[in-house]
Each structure stands twice: as C-alpha cells, then as structure tokens.
Amino acid sequence: MRGGMLRRKQHNSAPGSAPGNTPEAVMASRLMDLTGGNNELYQALARLLILDPKKVNIPLETFLTEAQDFETQGNKLRAEVAYRVAGALSLFQGDTEGVRKYFSKALTIAGNSRGEYKMLMDHLDDAVAVAKRYYGSI
C-alpha cells in the first residue's frame, strides 16, 4: 500500500503561469543582471529594494516621523524598520543622500545584525545606480 503522507503536495497553478515567472523570480533575475555578478551587492539589494514601490501610498515623511518617534521612545526595532523603509523609498527615488542618511541610521540602530546595511553603505553609488536602472525598467 502506498501512502501519500510523505509525498510532496502538488500545487495547482493558474494556466499559463510558469513557476519561474513570479514577480519575485522576475525581480531576482533582473537584479542579478544589473549587479553584474557582484553577489554581495545583489544580496543586499534583494533584501532592501521594494518590489513594487508604487503600491506604497504612505509618504516618506511619515516613515521618518515614526522612526524618530520610535527612537525617542526607545523602540529600536520599529525605528530601524521605519528607517529601512525610508531608505528603500529613497533608493526608489534615486536620492543618494537620503539612502545614505536613512540606512546609516538603521545601521546604527541595528549594529552588526544587518550586513546588508553595511554593504549598501560601502557600495552606495553602485547601489543607487543599480536601483535607478532596476526601477527604470519596471
């Protein structure tokens, strides 16, 4: 008797949709091409870019206000997340100074626990250039 308990569950996908054509897979492929084989930069940007920033309908200033409020209250995790989102939105806008400012605040709060912030700071100009090309192609 063959039991089905140990077999993988088959997922029914929509007709015409291949598993490699998800938005995440398309993003990963495009990002890999744009980073030109720099795996560290690819890894950092894959974690920090917003997949579809046009769907974020909260202004950057709101995230900054929240980040400062959370920081004042001592809520480091929420402050870090708010600075991270502000930095990601700055990447979308191509604002190098904003990217530097907000990710460096997130890095200060997070310490060594987030290597992608350090990588981004070390390769800031390249990261912003890749983000501009990435967002210019969607």
The tens digit of pLDDT for each residue in 47-106 reads 999 988 888 999 999 999 999 999 999 999 999 999 999 999 999 999 999 999 999 999
CA 33 distance to own-chain centroid: 17
| DSSP code for 21 | G
CB of 98 closer than 8 Å to CB of 86 = yes
Please report which confidence band the pLDDT of residue 25 belongs to, taking 50, 70 and 90 as the band edges: confident
- pLDDT averaged over every residue in the chain: 85
Would you list the domain boundaries of the chain? 21-136
pTM of the model: 0.79
* Percent helix, percent strand, percent coil in the chain, to nearest 5: 70, 0, 30
